[in-house]
């Protein structure tokens, strides 16, 4: 193996080229501390999500509503009927988007990759528009599967287009094909929406991205595909470490690059499709979270995936809570708040440190 590849693999695994630990007693302590803080932040975010809304409910009343549910108790109706489903949905969607963004950035070796790079958001949006405009579907539970199918078909189209040629689906070709397909799908969405007022009114709510108005039935519909995607993503840590070194080095390490890309693509489609179908297209989670994880735990994708799975739902739930507070008695949708929070957060991460090598 080339010396440069050995150094890169060693750095990703936390040892130097002699096999000794990097000044990573510190790295290990920092990683463990980072995970502990992230888990604590996630727990706090979940508690706030159950407490805060148009009316704040005390922690004791929240606990009582969860442990001793009574249909006649207004607090229990709010906590169990409304806030618990959106909290669980935020956990699931955040985890999916965080993992998908990490896998995308590792697969494409592009630090700006997010769920839009494979046309997932536009594919899901087009399928929902068509379902609303031509099939009369108006409920969230009704068009979840249309959104998922649209996301999967768009990603498959992008991969097929980028695979044309002798080199196959290289990172650059994936990005270019994704941009082209997204532009084409975006124009089709606009065309359909301009010809159907019903689809325009309904799409405005779905496309902004929201955890509100969804029940546990929506989560249960996408949970199987989301779980499969998460399992595949967590198993890709070593593969992504190899792909980060380049295709030639990855092959030299014994990896099957083509199979790795297919598995990564499947994980991305399952995760992004599930999250987008359930809560609509939400920007910045899949873009910002891997950078934050990389800053805390280093360049090993096994750790980045694990850390992203914790901080992504935290970020999404916190933004949802902020949306409930800033516009009382109404609320801002989480997709709007995420854009306001995500943009400066991403700029701060980039300014604080150069993006780590992918």
pLDDT of residue 24: 55
Residues in the chain: 358
The alpha carbon of 209 is separated from its chain's Cα centroid by a whole number of angstroms, namely 13
Name the more confident of 251 and 20: 251
- CATH tag, 3-352: 1.10.3470.10
In whole angstroms, what is the distance from residue 295 CA to residue 301 CA? 12
191-222 per-position pLDDT tens digit: 887 777 766 666 777 777 888 878 888 888 88
Domain positions in the chain are 3-352
pLDDT of residue 5: 46
Name the more confident of 59 and 202: 59
The 10 Å CB-count burial string (b at 16+, else e) for 26-62 is ebeeebeebbeebeebbeebbebbbbbbeeebeeebb
pLDDT of residue 198: 65
Backbone angles phi, psi at 21, to 5 degrees: -60, 140
Under the banding of pLDDT at 50, 70 and 90, the label for residue 352 is low
293-318 per-position pLDDT tens digit: 988 888 889 999 999 999 999 999 99
Please compute the mean of the pLDDT values over residues 106-122 and round it to a whole number.
77
pLDDT of residue 306: 94
Asked whether residue 66 carries a pLDDT value surpassing 80, the answer given is yes
272-283 per-position pLDDT tens digit: 888 888 888 888
């Amino acid at each position: 193996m080339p010396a440069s590849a050995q150094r890169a693999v060693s750095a990703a695994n936390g040892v130097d080229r002699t096999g000794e630990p990097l000044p990573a007693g510190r790295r290990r302590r920092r990683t463990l501390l980072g995970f502990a803080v992230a888990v604590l932040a996630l727990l706090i975010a979940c508690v706030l999500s159950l407490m805060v809304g148009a009316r704040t409910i005390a922690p004791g009343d929240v606990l009582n509503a969860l442990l001793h549910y009574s249909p006649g108790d207004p607090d229990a109706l709010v906590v169990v009927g409304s806030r618990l489903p959106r909290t669980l949905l935020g956990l699931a969607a955040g985890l999916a988007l965080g993992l998908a963004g990490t896998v995308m950035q590792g697969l494409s070796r592009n630090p700006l990759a997010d769920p839009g790079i494979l046309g997932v958001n536009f594919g899901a949006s087009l399928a929902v528009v068509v379902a609303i405009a031509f099939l009369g579907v108006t409920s969230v539970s009704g068009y979840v599967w249309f959104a998922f199918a649209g996301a999967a078909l768009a990603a498959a189209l992008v991969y097929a287009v980028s695979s044309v040629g002798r080199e196959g689906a290289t990172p650059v070709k994936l990005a270019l094909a994704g941009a082209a397909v997204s532009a084409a799908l975006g124009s089709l969405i606009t065309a359909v929406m301009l010809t159907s007022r019903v689809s325009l009114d309904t799409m405005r709510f779905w496309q902004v991205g929201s955890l509100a108005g969804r029940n546990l039935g929506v989560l249960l519909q996408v949970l199987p595909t989301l779980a499969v995607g998460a399992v595949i993503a967590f198993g890709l840590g070593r593969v992504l470490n190899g792909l980060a070194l380049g295709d030639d080095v990855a092959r030299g390490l014994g990896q099957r690059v083509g199979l790795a890309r297919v598995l990564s693509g499947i994980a991305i489609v399952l995760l992004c499709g599930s999250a987008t179908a359930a809560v609509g297209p939400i920007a910045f989670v899949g873009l910002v979270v891997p950078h934050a994880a990389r800053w805390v735990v280093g360049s090993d994708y096994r750790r980045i995936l694990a850390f992203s799975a914790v901080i992504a739902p935290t970020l999404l739930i916190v933004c949802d809570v902020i949306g409930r507070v800033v516009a009382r008695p109404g609320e801002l949708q989480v997709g709007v708040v995420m854009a306001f929070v995500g943009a400066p957060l991403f700029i701060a991460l980039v300014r604080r440190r150069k993006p780590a090598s992918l």
